[in-house]
Structure 1
Amino acid sequence: MSDYLLEMKTIVKEFSGVKALDGIDLKVRPGEVVGLCGENGAGKSTLMKVLSAVHPHGTWSGEIIWEGQPLEARTIRRTERAGIVIVHQELMLVPELSVAENIFLGREVASRGGVLDYEAMNAKASRLMADLKMSHVNVALPVSHYSGGILQLIEIAKALGKNAKLLILDEPTSALSQSETRTLLDLVRGLKDRNIACVYISHKLEEIEAICDTVAVIRDGQFIGQAPMAALTVDKIIHMMVGRELKEKYPREPHAIGEVVFDVRHVTCHDPINPDKKKVDDVSFTVRAGEILGIAGLVGAGRTEMASALFGHYKGPHSVDIHLDGRRIEVKTPQDAVSHGICMVPEDRKRHGIVPLLGIGQNITLAVLPRFARFGLIDEAAEFSVIGHEIDAMSIKTASPLLAITSLSGGNQQKAVVAKMLLPKPRVLILDEPTRGVDVGAKYEIYKLIYGLAKDGIAIVMMSSELPEVLGISDRVLVIGDGEVRGDFVNDGTLTQEKILTAALTKRRQAA
């Protein structure tokens, strides 16, 4: 009898003649947490799609051994019956349905007459949520009532309701706060106690180090190795992932800072549902040419709402006074913002950054499409020339610019969104969580790009939930808390995470 719950042997998967996986091996023991690491586009998600039959047996070569027997699954339902359940990076919940209805979607509990037994489903869903220490969640309410962290745990409850023996978590904390992340990591530790194995995919190597028993690394579709975490360090994992040492995670480069370019005054945003509540309360700041302004704050501080207002995208009542190069401008729509030279890479790439039905190239040129118009027609030769240049410049990994942008990994999608927002040649670039869901190698490339843009005199506003990132690349840090400015610090080498957090948690003194 094998010691392993799962063995994947020499897995090969091709797309249009291009090998996405080229001889990958993976082993998982019962109750073991295996970290699966690799750069964006390395093949991690593809390998898990092979395992979970998103790519069914017959579309790839190699062998999967499950509980000592060959597994030749041609449907997702077959792998789930075997006990292999995947929780995708993009949540697969129906907002209008209740928590219980989502948990049992496709496996509804019915009475003898064929009528759905909501009482039984709610009771079972409540037990599952209690197991996850989430008893306070009302399983009868629509999932739209809950935040990202709770939604992630609902997805896991849904998976456990399928009697999972192996749970695959793909970037489970990419949209979670620090406290929500701690809850999820404790949950994974609890799964080990129940002998449920886990494949944990994450670019956050501190999580891999904290929770994983072994680590497997893939690079460019090839298997680099699998070793106990006790024999590895974060630096060793990075070296395996990128094939080179990253001496400095934040490649600070000298750049000149000029005069004030972007002068923002009195940003105020009201909650779209409850207009009496302010999400952003009278925030003002300036950014100079070539300056990188990092904006830090806890989850819910109002950073994203402020960015949306500056870009003309905020849906609720709001007001803002913007001066660009000393001249007051009106920004009521994203088109207004881009026309004035204010471009933005949004926090939610899937909802606001890409058009899923369009190709990679079409997404890149979307913001400057009129540039290629000739007598009512698109000059495709000129457009494709620009697309090719941007794909090369951003090192976007793709077989063809004609492929749907959803065929790219998350990091390569992010690079395409950045390329789209650079084509209008911005004076101001707003980056909201620019490296969310991006691996260490791609992060390094994005940081170097940011410094290159600063050298060109572009004023950069960068929001990030990762304080080391804010400190690593910002010239100045603006701290937001409960929608108000709580600190404005020059990042001169003495600024610390503790000082930023203290500012974020300290309420502004009210005038007497």
Structure 2
Amino acid sequence: MTNPAPVPPPSVAPEILRMEGIVKRFAGATALDGVNFTLRAGEVHALVGENGAGKSTLIKIMTGAYRRDGGQMWLEGQPVDFTTPAAAQAAGVIAVHQEIHLLSFRTVAENVYLGREPRRWGLVDWGRMNTETAALLQRLGLAIDPGATLGALSTAEQQMVAIARGVSLGAKVLVLDEPTSSLAEREVSILYDLIRQLQAQGTAIVYISHRFDELYTVCDRVTVLRDGKLVGTHRVADLERLDLVCLMLGKQRDELRQGTTGFGANQAEAEGTAPLLRTEGLRRGQKLRGVTLDVRKGEILGVAGLLGSGRTETARAIFGADPAEDGTIQLDGKRLSPRTPDDAIHAGIAFVSEDRKGEGIIPELSVRENLTLAALPTLTRMGIVDRAKQREVVDRFMKRLGVKATSADQKIRELSGGNQQKVLLARWLCMNPALLILDEPTRGIDIGAKGEIQALINELAGTGLGVLMISSELEELVEGSSRVVVLRDGQNVAELRGDDISQQSIIHAMAEGSAVSASAALEA
């Protein structure tokens, strides 16, 4: 491919899109709170933030999937208010999503012109459609046959066809949502070439990705959102990776101090024992690319990483929810290949998901029913639940974990978030597991309940239970972990222990992809 013409810097290129004071609410909760966003011709503008930051909501308003509750939007200086994605597409604002929403059994040309096929005398003009598709692909530097069946192409080529379709629709603004998530490394360069080609033609691109290497390779500016609010917009070249992570997490460099784990004594005991859990080289597509870690009895292993780092994917692979395609798992010295959660549960693994409402509680069932859900096979005889045994289990664990409810028959949806989380912990503890996996154990609960949950996790580890704890809260990892493993882009990049477990060290590993001592991190 020939090199495209130089693109004017963002400060010089004309403004294509402006969003000011955007507000969006869902059932009383504010998802976006006065967010501003601007986009210039030929610019690749990154939009970043952790889960719940508001990225998807802003994009859906931009592309007509959601209606805004406040604020204004302009396209090429004219006010716009898209009521549907079709209206946004007609105006030239088009999204290419992470999942490829095309028809695999149709040809490339049919997919490019899907729903708007050129016609002659009322019939599809196949010749014109193939010719125009070929010209479009050639203009974009793509060596793809318009007559090829889409399903026969590689994932990267299918992604290029999806982008070509957006261009054929007259895209002025093209939103690329995690465009490399399904691509092999060698295929990513094809995407980069296409992005540069589109830049040269003046197309403005909103680029959503959790991979820092990509952001620093193709993006001109970056807008950071956190908790539905605008943190800031910066030139990528002027922003160090460490500072970008701090912006995403709401940290200041000068506020970070070396922390010490509150679980050092247990770590000293655990280091001399054989691993309870050991994973080696876990792989699953591009989500997991060789994760290796171990957890010992009585140890809390913290797992850190930004959105998309592979934290949850690692937990789900160990639990058999999304089995690894390669790599090994050993539990208590024995090889384990969980293909389903049932396999993991029978082996002694428990998993509390980060999505408490979607994958944890059953809102309309009682505390009693939710707590004993996993244990029902052991409480049932001839298909009938032994109520006395169930009552004994429920009473014992509600008391042990301090669950506050009017009675065990109260619906769990009526409990506070902290008490719901305690019920989920009790659900697994009554199974007497060897390993407890906790994904964001204190997310969405108040400060007082957080302290209770953290103290409970420490107490459980003190009894010899192995704990793998995933958390986005750095303080939680620093204060409650024996060791901390940091993941990035589906790979291990650091393991911190002892005095080197600090917020600054974790952030440095997230940003730079390598470990650093606590003293060096504080000087960075």
Specify the TM-score bucket, using the shorter chain as the normaliser.
0.5 to 0.7
Show CA shifts across 1:232-262 (max 9, x none): 32233223322214799xx997743422546
TM-score, length basis structure 2: 0.59
1:141 aligns with 2:149: yes
In structure 2, what is the equivalent of residue 471 of structure 1? 493
Distance in 2, matches of 1:172 and 1:335, equals 34
3-state SS of the aligned residue for 1:150? helix
Q: Is the 8 A contact 1:87 1:169 kept in 2?
A: yes
Show CA shifts across 1:22-42 (max 9, x none): 111111121122222222211
3-state SS of the aligned residue for 1:472? strand
3-state SS of the aligned residue for 2:143? coil
1:73 aligns with 2:82: yes
Matching residue within 350, 373, 379 for 1:370 = 373
Cα distance change, pair 198–344 in 1 and its aligned pair in 2 (3 A): same
Where do 1:345-360 residues align within 5 Å?
none
- How far residue 5 of structure 1 moved from its aligned partner, in angstroms, is 1.2
Gapped runs of 5+ residues in structure 1? 268-284, 295-303, 346-352, 400-418, 435-441, 476-492, 499-512
Distance in 1, matches of 2:467 and 2:198, equals 43
- How far residue 393 of structure 1 moved from its aligned partner, in angstroms, is 5.2
- How far residue 106 of structure 1 moved from its aligned partner, in angstroms, is 2.3
Distance in 1, matches of 2:300 and 2:443, equals 26
Cα distance change, pair 313–198 in 1 and its aligned pair in 2 (3 A): closer
Matching residue within 211, 234, 252 for 1:204 = 211
3-state SS of the aligned residue for 1:394? coil
Instruction: Work out which of the two has the higher radius of gyration on C-alpha atoms and give 1 or 2.
Output: 2
TM-score, length basis structure 1: 0.60
Cα distance change, pair 216–321 in 1 and its aligned pair in 2 (3 A): closer
In structure 2, what is the equivalent of residue 178 of structure 1? 185
Matching residue within 13, 16, 20 for 1:5 = 16
Where do 1:171-320 residues align within 5 Å?
171-245=178-252, 255=267, 256-257=270-271, 258-261=273-276, 289=296, 311=320
Show CA shifts across 1:455-510 (max 9, x none): 69xxx9x997555xx131399xxxxxxxxxxxxxxxxx9xxx99xxxxxxxxxxxx
Show CA shifts across 1:409-433 (max 9, x none): xxxxxxxxxx9xx9xx9989999xx
Distance in 1, matches of 2:107 and 2:179, equals 21
In structure 2, what is the equivalent of residue 61 of structure 1? 70
In structure 2, what is the equivalent of residue 503 of structure 1? none
In structure 1, what is the equivalent of residue 504 of structure 2? none
Cα distance change, pair 123–230 in 1 and its aligned pair in 2 (3 A): same
3-state SS of the aligned residue for 2:175? strand
Matching residue within 41, 47, 50 for 1:39 = 50
- How far residue 209 of structure 1 moved from its aligned partner, in angstroms, is 2.5
Q: Matched residue pairs, number?
A: 396
3-state SS of the aligned residue for 2:493? helix
376-385 or 165-174, which deviates more = 376-385
3-state SS of the aligned residue for 1:94? coil
Give 1:191's aligned amino acid. Answer: L
Give 1:394's aligned amino acid. Answer: P
Matching residue within 164, 178, 185 for 1:157 = 164
- How far residue 68 of structure 1 moved from its aligned partner, in angstroms, is 1.3
Give 2:493's aligned amino acid. Answer: L
Gapped runs of 5+ residues in structure 2? 1-12, 283-291, 304-312, 363-369, 388-407, 425-437, 447-456, 498-508, 515-524
RMSD of aligned residue pairs (Cα, Å): 5.2
Q: Is the 8 A contact 2:109 2:133 kept in 1?
A: yes
In structure 1, what is the equivalent of residue 102 of structure 2? 93
Q: Is the 8 A contact 1:264 1:322 kept in 2?
A: yes
Give 1:93's aligned amino acid. Answer: L
